[in-house]
Amino acid sequence: MASNHRVPVIFLGVGNIGRTLLRQILEGKEVVARRTGLLLAPIVLADVSGVLLDPAGLPEEMLRAALEVTANGKLLKSVPGIQSLDRVIETLRPGVILVDMTATPKTMPTLLAAIETECGIVLANKIPLTTNWGTAEAFFEYPYLRYECTVGAGLPVIKTLRCLLDTDDEVEAIEGCLSGTLNYLCTRLEHHIPYSDAIAEAHDLGYTEPDPRDDLSGKDIARKVLILARTAGWEMEEADLTVEALYTESLANISVEEFMVAAPSLDVEYATRVRKAQSMGRTLRYVAHIDPEGSTVGLKPVDRDSPLGTLRGSDNYIALYTARYDESPLVISGPGAGPEVTAAGVMGDIIELAHQMIKK
């Protein structure tokens, strides 16, 4: 592998995605090197407890030790050699790729410093791209940024959208189901499972966040919508989106346990909406619609035999309506979550960015 180009990679976050990416890099390094000419070399692993850091490349034994402790739910500080989190900044330099696989705004100063030092940046974290436009603009305008996994996990949504825009197509609207969890809920409702039972079921299966309202609020989808809109060149703010939460305001500020007890109070309302849709040959889906005028996200009756109506399980579906794809849209569909596909999508971003930076 002597002639391969070494790509130093900084991991911010070694949770589900970070850990899976680390394993995929270790397991796949020969294939990746043979096919791409790149040798991905983690130089920093960071979680809230600190960093493991070596600008020359962390030794494989240390990477394997980090994988083992984090897979057992422990923090990186259990691995000998941990240092303070603020040392990440020292490792930023051109040619390095910083990957944010956290879900926190706290990485923002490091990301802005990475732009200053001309590092590559890969985001799985949606927060930097969904803050107010005044702050987020710096990311959207930065040429060495990739963020494929912020929408549809490993599905090629952002690169497809960018390709359409780069080739002077005109994007007129984007529509789809962007939450596997809410699609699962919709398919259970259509089988006449009561709302509260469907939520309890999804919660027990680990499909929802620990607080199911984090999914039911639609806020995570609103973030994805904002990223799609801003990528399309529509400079929207969160306030421009109309988002329907799948619970009432009265259930917003109670504990998770109280919410689960109170959820049956909404069973009749959702069963009625499902029956009404079915009486017209339709079914309910949690649909996002985006166009230059704004965006709506919420439950919508769709034809039962349409692509959205037949969408099953936790799949995502994204339809791009453009000047060229006018009669039928360009469609991307498939699993929209999960560590394996998401980490692989992050690795794809790293590879693409590394090639772009080498050519510079």
Ligand X SMILES: NC(=O)c1ccc[n+]([C@@H]2O[C@H](COP(=O)([O-])OP(=O)(O)OC[C@H]3O[C@@H](n4cnc5c(N)ncnc54)[C@H](OP(=O)(O)O)[C@@H]3O)[C@@H](O)[C@H]2O)c1
Q: Which residues are catalytic?
A: 224
d(CA 56, CA 90): 13
d(CA 120, CA 54): 18
d(CA 98, CA 27): 20
Query: Closest distance between ligand X and the C-beta of residue 1, in Å?
Result: 29
Interacting residue with ligand X among 10, 39, 114, 149 (CB under 6 A): 149
122 part of the interface to ligand X, by CB under 6 A: no
Interface characters, 30-69, with ligand X (x: CB under 6 A):
----------------xxxx--------------------
148 part of the interface to ligand X, by CB under 6 A: no
Query: Closest distance between ligand X and the C-beta of residue 60, in Å?
Result: 20
Interacting residue with ligand X among 41, 101, 222, 354 (CB under 6 A): 101
Tally Cβ neighbours within 10 Å of residue 191: 8
104 part of the interface to ligand X, by CB under 6 A: yes
135 part of the interface to ligand X, by CB under 6 A: no
Tally Cβ neighbours within 10 Å of residue 137: 13
CA distances from 151 to 35, 36, 312, 318 (A): 26, 25, 18, 10
245 part of the interface to ligand X, by CB under 6 A: no
Total residues in contact with ligand X, by rule CB under 6 A? 28
Ramachandran category for residue 327: left, alpha or beta (phi over 0 → left; psi -120 to 50 → alpha): alpha
Query: Closest distance between ligand X and the C-beta of residue 200, in Å?
Result: 21
218 part of the interface to ligand X, by CB under 6 A: no
Q: What string of DSSP letters covers 312-347?
A: -TTEEEEEEEESSS-SS-EEEEEE---HHHHHHHHH
Which residue has 């991307």 as its token pair?
Answer: 332
Query: Closest distance between ligand X and the C-beta of residue 229, in Å?
Result: 18
91 part of the interface to ligand X, by CB under 6 A: no
d(CA 273, CA 194): 12
| Amino acid letter, 83 | Q
Q: Which residue's Cβ has the minimum distance to ligand X?
A: 15
Q: Which is nearer to ligand X, 84 or 272 (CB)?
A: 84
Query: Closest distance between ligand X and the C-beta of residue 51, in Å?
Result: 8
202 part of the interface to ligand X, by CB under 6 A: no
CA distances from 146 to 162, 319, 346 (A): 11, 21, 9
178 part of the interface to ligand X, by CB under 6 A: no
Rg of the chain over Cα atoms, rounded to whole angstroms, equals 21
Binding residues (CB under 6 A) for ligand X: these are 12-18, 46-49, 75, 85, 101-104, 106-107, 124-126, 149, 153, 337-339, 342
